[in-house]
Structure 1
Amino acid sequence: FSPVSQISYALQHFPYASPNSPQSKYYVQLMLGYSSLESYLDLGLTYYPEFTTIKLHQTTQFYISLSNPSHRINGNGTVRVQWNTTECMDCFTLSPKEFHFNINNFQEKQILTTTRIKNAPKTFLIPIIYGEGYELIPPGRFLIYID
């Protein structure tokens, strides 16, 4: 796959319209060389541990990295990861607030430090991923369970 984006167009309802015609607003932009299903299945996060128990005022570290380099859709390959919780948003502190991965450091483990500051029910940390195709991945694929 070339680092220069190659674009193809799919057209519904106007099979003979040219890209410059009034009907071109109905075109859907597709990346060449990728199928929409196959190309994003290999993108993901790896992390350890996948689940843990954190007692009140205790801290745990999670080691986070990307499973594969980004697709470099926008040219720079930068992927940002932020975290959210499913229960009790203010029961945990998360540091750092955001990770940055790119083509050079995608496999380097970055450390997410999590401290329980209030009693809370069982919860999940949910990654919010931005950039280079990762935003198309459902965040539920990479939950971290905290008891």
Structure 2
Amino acid sequence: MTTTPTVNGRVIGLAHYAGRAVLETVLARYGATFQQSVTLRLVAVAEGPVERDTLVAEVVGALKADPADVHGVVDALIDKGLLEPAANQLRITDAGQKVYETSAAETGEISARIYAGIPAEDLAVAGRVLALVTERADAELAAMTA
């Protein structure tokens, strides 16, 4: 007999890494990394060019990454022709938009299969709990690094 695990850091981590492995497998077909996909998405969904420092700050906040590493990710996306610099702003190129849209569509189909059959109420509760865990973890991190 198996028991349903209580939500804790390990359970959340296992779910994260399982989903991330799926995403990274898809992204590899497009020559992109996880960090690049997070960065590219932020520019793809923006309503125009994005200031580089703003983009880096958003990625740092989302991934808890080192700013120098994120600047390297941005540079790699520029080198690949997926982002285009204009002064201190970045815009997504047609190639970047295609990578974003096709990889997002592919991972969307996979996500639909992963979440299929899970009641909406359960997903809503999980979403609220994970948002609260994230908020509290971010507060702890901020206190530790202050």
Q: Please give the TM-score of this superposition, normalised by the length of structure 2.
A: 0.21
Structure (1 or 2) with the greater strand fraction: 1
Radius of gyration: which is bigger? 1
Which is helix-richer, 1 or 2? Answer: 2
Higher relative contact order (CA 8 A, sep 6+): 1
